[in-house]
Chain A
Amino acid sequence: MSSLVSLRDVRFSYGNRDVLHGVTLNVPRGKLVAIMGGSGCGKTTLMRLIGGQLRPRAGQLTVCGAEVPSLDREGLYDLRRRMSMLFQFGALFTDLSVFDNVAFPMREHTNMPEPIIRDLVLMKLHAVGLRGAENLLPSELSGGMARRVALARAIALDPELMMYDEPFAGLDPISLGVIGQLIRKLNDALGASSIVVTHDVQESLQIVDYVYFLSDGKVVAEGTPDEIRTSEDPWVHQFVWGEADGPVPFRYPAVPYEEALLGVQRA
């Protein structure tokens, strides 16, 4: 099966700090792929690279057949019309109503007449269960609702690639389940491919087709959800079952405890 997104040995650094040390991964068409890892492991950076907001230092990165780092601004904007990203907190435009937020990409990129835009917006809002909220402002929405509106806006132009940045962060269990099911359903209904960047292991394992584990800027493990659940790899085991002890240290590197408490002077 052909890949919609493919990364080969991608490296990236912020100034002198290396963030990604050679990441290789594929997102096949029509599949839902999760990228998991602890905070600060480079997950979000990876997504920004795919979206062309950042450029890698080395490596190959193709999306929909286009070599992303070599695209100029126009090429990048053409590519971005075929992909969509759900930001962590929705990033709704606070001066526009729910309806206008969802209509925004349609009004910007198409010449569709207003009645058709209206029908499409209502269909998108219906898909996320918020058709009745069309006249509300983003400030009147709860966190979960805001994310569903952002999801409706993200699918406004039926993208080929959907990217979700921490879609489950800070949601109550009900909203969390709702968003998870929506991500799966929308992926299948639109015939899109999706990347979910997350650290909500149990929720993601229920909906995704394939998982990549990222640690210290490298892919340390990968597999289908079943393979991940039964993995013997100590790192994966610690992450999936949320154990405090294991290959991932709990403590930030520091001077020895006794030394810090007794105030031993260093020469």
Chain B
Amino acid sequence: MFRLVGARTINTQWRLGVMARFFGLLLWHSGSSFRRLRLTLREIYFSGVLSLTIILISGLFVGMVLGLQGYETLQRYGSEEVLGTLVALSLVRELGPVLAGLLFASRAGSAVTAEIGLMKATEQLAAMDMMAVDPVARVVAPRFWGGVISMPILALLFSAMGVFGGYLVGVVMIGIDSGSFWSQMQASVDFRNDIVNGVIKSVVFGVAVSLVAVFEGFDTDGTAEGVSRATTRTVVTSSLAILGLDFILTSFMFRG
């Protein structure tokens, strides 16, 4: 029993160490992914643009639900007009970055892991290495930066759609005054404290999800079972990382 716990702990530490070294290597080779911008743009398309549908639709629904639930609670205290504030703050501070991050991990992160894992299984990475082309520079770095760049934009779009969803429910459906909905929101959402902090969060989540995704893909043992395990691990690890990091970041950012 103790031995098992110990072995697991050491194993996890070991993986973290390997991942940190991999991250270092990745940063070292990142120059090339900016020199050859076409590769990175392609990955932004695959990770970012193709995730737009799920991000926009989810954002809309989350905002609509927030509108309904918020109105339900606020009307008890007769302060329905702050609904705009409630929806906007919840989204830009928390729900936007976190939910967009979770969706991004399962939509784009898993795809990146599976793609790199299969490239390894079919010896494409080994072939590249034998052609004197570094797979970390050619395959891994562009996918990593594609994810890091896409994530904050997706989170912002998620929040914007969410605010629109809140507006649809609050103003169009329920009939709250449109002027007070927007003016309350404008008055209480601070650019520096709320929006910038939200963007910082989403950048951190973008780095975490992309790093986990490329690492797990690169680290598979190259069998069908290995690729499936790696894909699962990407979603689980990056989701937990997002929630854990969110707690840490929130406790530093919003201390009242």
Contacts and interface: CB of A to CB of B under 8 A. Distances in A.
* Same complex origin of A and B: yes
Interface of A: 51, 53, 76-78, 80-81, 83-85, 87-89, 91-94, 104-105, 108-109
B124 interface: yes
Contacts of B129: 53
A65 to B, nearest CB: 17
A89 B134 CA distance: 21
A53 B126 contact: yes
A26 to B, nearest CB: 22
Contact of A108 (B124, B126, B131): B131
A108 B133 contact: yes
Instruction: Give the size range of B's interface with the partner.
Output: 10 to 19
B124 A91 contact: yes
Q: Report, nearest first, the 7 A-B pairs whose CB atoms are least far apart.
A: A91-B127, A77-B132, A91-B123, A80-B132, A85-B130, A87-B123, A81-B132
Nearest to A85: B130
B122 interface: yes
A92 B128 CA distance: 10
Contacts of B134: 77
A94 B122 contact: yes
A93 B126 contact: no
B122, B126, B132, B133 — most chain A CB neighbours (10 Å):
B132
Contacts of B128: 93
Contacts of A53: 126, 129-130
A53 B125 CA distance: 12
A105 B123 contact: no
30 contacts: A51-B130, A53-B129, A78-B132, A80-B131, A81-B132, A83-B130, A84-B131, A85-B130, A87-B126, A87-B127, A88-B123, A89-B122, A89-B123, A91-B122, A91-B124, A91-B127, A92-B124, A93-B119, A93-B124, A93-B128, A94-B118, A94-B122, A94-B124, A104-B131, A104-B133, A105-B131, A105-B133, A108-B138, A109-B132, A109-B133
Contacts, number: 47
B195 to A, nearest CB: 37
Interface string B111-148: 00000001100111011111111100010000000000
B132 A91 contact: no
A80 B130 contact: yes
Contacts of B119: 93-94
A109 B130 CA distance: 13
B161 to A, nearest CB: 31
Nearest to B42: A95
A76 B138 CA distance: 17
Contacts of A87: 123, 126-127
Nearest to B134: A77
A81 to B, nearest CB: 5
Nearest to A83: B130
Contacts of B124: 91-94
Contacts of A92: 124
B118, B122, B130 — most chain A CB neighbours (10 Å):
B130
Contacts of B123: 87-89, 91
B118, B124, B138 — most chain A CB neighbours (10 Å):
B124
